[in-house]
Structure 1
């Protein structure tokens, strides 16, 4: 591992992680493995308890089971996105159908892992997410009516801040860095999710749709265009 990657790993492992899992065996198993890997871990056995914990101590990432008593994981993820948009979410699911994965992304998840899983893969996924969200270039990207503050991880349109999830911010950053270029779904996965991301290209479509809902699609401000048969492109505002 390079010195820079080692420094990033040391930084990310100091960040608190919240585990929300009702199965006590799985919860203890995951908690032990995360602690062995150097992470600080908080644990909750329900969505309600997890959200309450987040009010007092904000985690950098939530490992969230889908099947929970009371409010399910999708509802918890939606509330996290509304109340704590800067927090990353990795969902655990025993369901492997594409629709279930897409639903997780629709509710704002940044990644998912299907049970049963190797704890080493879970640790690798967490580190990959935290590396993506903690890179800091300390500069601005501007296009049309949009201003993207990379240091603060904020997006503004005509001085109005647009609330984005961490992964949505990564995606808009990639579009603004490659203005006018047609980017395939694989390009966007590699650039915005990282080459070590293992997931479905449908992830890109879900996040692009959510971004479009937030930033609009007016030609005068700048917009995400569909490049048929290829992927997407950022078109500068007129």
Structure 2
């Protein structure tokens, strides 16, 4: 899952970036409203965390422009302004949720999960095919009921595959969904992580859940 943080206070940026990455999310950072808008228009994100008071373009203007462009990505507005009028303004502009600073990081994660559970954004929190199951709330993968430990990045890649069964995903699609702008520059990092995943989730290497589509990318095959 990929999150865009649009925030100009360095201490908050560092706090959010570290916490979200530790929770298994890929994170892009924009330090002003115009850059945040450009990022959101150019790239598909799962959630946007958007400060209100920003240089160049404030948060209200950013979310209005996104909705005018038919970008439906869930937006959580972050602000120190706690008046009812401010919250109403943000929600009327097109935000999905509103969190007042300072906030507990656990609450932010819960609100992100709640948005991702919406039918228009995601499906069930437990995804299963045959004898394998992925629980996106507990962050657990099981094969025949036995829990298999995955890293945060491995989990995110597998979730992306399992939400798109049978669909060929290019290396670029996978990289853009899982890593941020700076982490992937045409390297073989996607192939490396696919190798890690196969070793963990496949019982028989000759019948892998993740099929290589030569010259294109990979496809998740539920039957293995």
Which residue in 1 is equivalent to 2:122?
134
Matches within 5 A, 1:1-238: 15-132=1-118, 133-135=121-123
Conserved? CA contact 2:41–2:66, under 8 Å: no
Q: Deviations over 1:97-154 (max 9, x none)?
A: 1111000111000001000001111111111101112127xxxxxxxxxxxxxxxxxx
TM-score, normalized by length of structure 1? 0.49
RMSD: 1.2
Matched residue of 2:28: which SS? Answer: strand
CA distance, structure 1, for counterparts of residue 40 and residue 99 of structure 2: 22
For residue 95 of structure 1, report the CA deviation from its aligned partner.
Answer: 0.8
For residue 52 of structure 1, report the CA deviation from its aligned partner.
Answer: 1.6
Q: Deviations over 1:164-199 (max 9, x none)?
A: xxxxxxxxxxxxxxxxxxxxxxxxxxxxxxxxxxxx
Report how many aligned residue pairs link the two structures: 122
Q: Deviations over 1:72-114 (max 9, x none)?
A: 1000110111124321100001011111100011100000100
Question: Higher relative contact order by CA 8 Å / sep ≥ 6: 1 or 2?
Answer: 2
Distance 1:46 1:84, change over 3 A: farther
TM-score, normalized by length of structure 2? 0.52
Q: Where in structure 1 are there 5+ consecutive unaligned residues?
A: 1-14, 137-238
Report runs of 4+ in structure 1 exceeding 4 Å deviation.
none
CA distance, structure 1, for counterparts of residue 71 and residue 35 of structure 2: 18
Conserved? CA contact 2:2–2:25, under 8 Å: yes
Q: Where in structure 2 are there 5+ consecutive unaligned residues?
A: 125-224
Matched residue of 1:134: which SS? Answer: coil
